Amino acid sequence: MKRIWAPWRKQYVEQGTPEGCIFCLKAAAGDDAKQHVITRGESCFSMLNRFPYNSGHLMVSPFRHVPGLGSLDARELTELMVMVRDSISLLDLKLSPDGFNVGINLGRAAGAGVADHVHIHIVPRWEGDTNFMLVLGETRVIPHALDEMYKKLISG
């Protein structure tokens, strides 16, 4: 039996899965700290992933609910990519990773968990961050709680 102690997940388990698009809900919620929204622009925002691949895993998304890059106008597309660049700079400054994975899953067949609202994943990577837990136990260990990571990323 595989067990990992993750008391911060209790809130998610008790509240269940929200109805609606997570990107639309978080952008409209108004409490950026509670929603783990890191930055807001005119047409896009960044937020921490609630189910991160690694500590600091961010997602950048337009406010507008669209399924793909082709649905964005030039201004939205530009801001989206500028926010990806700025998010990488922030993560580099605050976490000093050895590298990054940046990716977009377009469509459910491509692995998109939220297929109808385009978003870009930014995952900080460190040398050796794939360890025996993942290889032997098929379990990923994330060393930071979301609230802790949020405070670290928004601090001066």
Q: Where are the domains of the chain?
A: 19-154
Which tokens go with 144? 């930071």
**Does position 1 have pLDDT exceeding 50, yes or no?**
no
Query: What is the value of pTM for the model shown?
Result: 0.80
Q: Name residue 58's amino acid.
A: L
Band the pLDDT of 111: cuts 50, 70, 90.
Answer: confident
- Could you tell me if residue 125 is left (phi over 0), alpha (psi between -120 and 50 degrees) or otherwise beta? beta
d(CA 14, CA 55): 23
**Tally of residues, the chain:** 156
Q: To the nearest whole percent, how much of the chain has pLDDT over 70?
A: 79
For domain 19-154, is the CATH number 3.20.20.70?
no
pLDDT confidence of residue 67: 95
Average pLDDT over every residue of 47-73: 94
Catalytically annotated residues:
119
Quick one: angle between helices 74-95 and 146-154, nearest 10?
100
Nearest Cα to 104, choosing from 142, 149, 50, 66? 66
Q: Which amino acid is at 95?
A: L
